[in-house]
Amino acid sequence: MIEVSREGSYALLIWRMPRVNVLSPESVTAFQEALESVLTDSQVRGIVITSANPEFLAGADIRYVQQLVERQSIEEIYQNSWRVQEVFLRVETGGKPVVAAIGGSALGGGYELALACHHRIAWNASDIEIGLPETTLGLMPGAGGTQRLPRKIGVAPALQLILEGRRLRPAEAHAYGLVEELVGQREDLIPRALQWLSQTSSFLGNPWNAPDYRIEQGHPQSEEGRRIFTAAIAKLRERTYGNYPGLEYALRAVYEGLQVPFVEGLRIESSYFARTLATREARAMVRTLFIERQRLLSLPHRPAQVPPASFQKVVILGAGMMGSAIAYVCAQAGYATWVKDTSPQALEKARNFSENLLQREVQRGRLSPQKAQGIQQRLSYTTEYQPLAGADLVIEAVFEDRAVKTQVYAEILPYLSPQGVLASNTSTLPITSLAEAAGVPDRFIGLHFFSPAERMPLLEIILGKHTSQQTLAWALDFSVKIGKVPVVVRDSRGFFTSRVFGTYVREGLRMLMEGVPPALIENLGRQAGMPVGPLALADEVSLSLMYSILRQTERDLGVSLAEDPVASVGELFVEKLGRSGRKAGKGFYEYPPEGKKYLWSELNRYFPSRPIDPALYPELRDRFLYVQVAEALRALKEGILLDARDGDVASILGWGFPPFTGGVFSMIEWVGEEQFRMRMNYLKMRYGDRFDAS
């Protein structure tokens, strides 16, 4: 688990766990024993901590953390945190210089171990991540991160990194001061670490270990410190509305810990770490954002008997924003990727899109120039079909119109390889009907990406009635290859994600029609925990697209959907006012060429506002979340989802359902089953059957 080797008068402690290097009770014990063996060896003048695995140290064993969370024993959590603190403190104060040679990702507790060392050298590889991302899982640093990082790089930048949970590439980490040196090759790490040790003749340790140490800039009681912490509190409140206790506890740990001796600061951190893990938010987020997410990445729904996919050539039909982003993702994953469109101008925009993305990634140190060039070389653009011959996977990303899609299926089919898969990126149209129109129902599947596809981690895979097991298996293989988290659902109109998150937008439109002021609608949506307000989301998705889908649904089903708020609002905004959303430059918001967007001043002319009693605000907030849960429960009952746990992951990663609840189904437990049932019954009685959760 921890190997000890010697290089002359220096010792190497090498992490080599069977699967992934993580902090667990067993690995901490093994590391402590190895550490003591070299600290007490008079022949050892210095120590290098490194790894034989691809990662340096991935942080805490999250499954063990989950066990602590489920037990909710604050004292037990505190003792476990403090044990790690003591071991890391021993690294720091053992009397010998220690270097962290970081040859892979160092996250959470992994970077906290590096922080306890006296010098940090990282391999400058673009796929390595360094930082303290615990707050993105509902947790907070618990092995010294809130105390060492502000003392090392300054209070303001440390607060930014801790509260945002940012993962930095080595070049970014070096610029921030998280590591002192970078090397170009992994094999240079140990020689450079040994060289640093050999040049350290008078070892003084980390400055904050001195009895008289006091942080110079940003001390909480200084004028600068008060300004920094006041701004941090305000920004945190604006961003989270108090929904994430782990963030507040992390901020408190920094504030309180910087006013006391360093070791006492570590105790304060461990205390807040224990309180964080005992919250319902931590329990919900750890379960969904790590445990269930990892389960989906292990492909539990993949047919076992099907051999792995061997896709080589991927074709994207449609060079719009979604098609361009999907193509970029495929080329980034190593596929030879072709983008087909009838418009040379659209293809040029797609080419510029990928070039700009790659240039930005290189500038940020997230991608080497050589890798960026390789990605660009794998992207090809054409207005013709002949170059697409032999395509192993075709992803259609054209306008949400059945006739247009059917036409491109007929045109591409002769160029599909004999076992090739044809997929649609449709967000709503039933896959079975599209598969029948394509003429290859067994090799047809839905691959629903989320915008922006180059960043959003979810891929919704939709099974048609006749989709083969091989097609499903290969689609799942593809999802992992391109770095997406796959959720498999059965066919229906809107599938799972579009169907459920659409209720959020519709509830906002209903409130607008009820006379609720637009700014209040938006603010209450964010206070409920959604990333943006429903009107802003309607602009982003495009009200014209929602309106077009509704009209297509009416034609397909032969019914009138006049009661749907998209019908009346869409007719007004799309057909009469020409305000279809952000892409058109105007919708519920105005989008000036420079400056921030703002709500259209004429909204009140078409939707007169009325005074709203502040006592009703909690009820309005609840409507936004409970309507989504009700729709999700109906989808589950109808068999659209294969597993409710999949829906939790999809809801957070796909459309930003409040992560602190654990997802659209976990919210029931988060609220409490009895309280949830009573609230849902009240909303049903007051607002109608869309809140029926039976």
Radius of gyration of the chain, Cα coordinates, nearest whole angstrom: 27
- DSSP for 50-88 reads EESSSSSB--B-HHHHHHHHHHT-HHHHHHHHHHHHHHH
Q: Is 36 a catalytic residue?
A: no
Q: How far apart are CA 135 and CA 150, in angstroms?
A: 16
Both structure tokens of 587: 């919708």
Distance, C-alpha 241 to centroid of its chain: 20
Q: Catalytic one among 55, 92, 129, 134?
A: 134
Q: Catalytic one among 92, 112, 129, 248?
A: 112
φ, ψ at 402 (rounded to 5°): -60, -40
Neighbours of 298 (CB within 10 A): 8
Residue 582 gets which letter from DSSP? G
Reduce the DSSP state of residue 14 to 3 states and report it. Answer: strand
Alpha-carbon torsion angle 334, 338, 343, 348, nearest 10: 40
Residue-wise over 140-150: b if at least 16 C-beta within 10 A, else e?
Answer: bbbbbbbbbbb
Q: Is 134 a catalytic residue?
A: yes
How far is CA 186 from each of CA 99, 159, 314, 497, 615, rounded to the nearest angstrom? 15, 30, 33, 42, 60
Q: Report the side by side order of strands in the sheet with 46-51.
A: 2-7, 10-15, 46-51, 98-102, 119-123, 181-183
- DSSP for 509-522 reads HHHHHHT--HHHHH
φ, ψ at 465 (rounded to 5°): -60, -30
Residues serving a catalytic function are 112, 134
